[in-house]
Amino acid sequence: MNKTLIKICFVAALMMAAGSAYASTSITGTTVIGGGTFSPSNKVNIGVTSTSTNYSAQSKHSSGDRQMGTNNTDPKMYWSAAAIGAVATTPANATVDYSGWTSL
């Protein structure tokens, strides 16, 4: 999957989730962000958990075998093996440590 597309999806999801004190959400279809609409690519879902100062986001294409992850404390993107057909898991918290995942 194209890294730029993944980053765009993360940024859009984060903008939507950043407004609340603590929020977890899964984006699978069209949603409103900042007065405009955003929709992830076909068969891509994004899980986001955020606070007013931190976020973690993960995405996955349903036919892919990798889940992508990132957070605001580390500029890198990471991947982890995932089952084909599975959806991205919503991060457990806004400060997920991706050190056990593979860096892109």
**What is the number of structural domains in the chain?**
1
- Determine the structural domain holding residue 33 and report its residue range: 3-103
Question: How do residues 55-93 score in pLDDT, each as one tens digit?
Answer: 899 999 999 999 999 999 988 999 999 999 998 889 999
Q: Kindly state the average pLDDT of the residues 37-59.
A: 89
CA-CA distances (angstroms) from residue 95 to 32, 48, 67, 69, 70? Answer: 25, 11, 17, 11, 10
Q: What is the pTM of this model?
A: 0.73
Please name the residues in contact with 101: beta carbons below 8 A apart, sequence gap of 6 or more. Answer: 69, 78, 79, 80
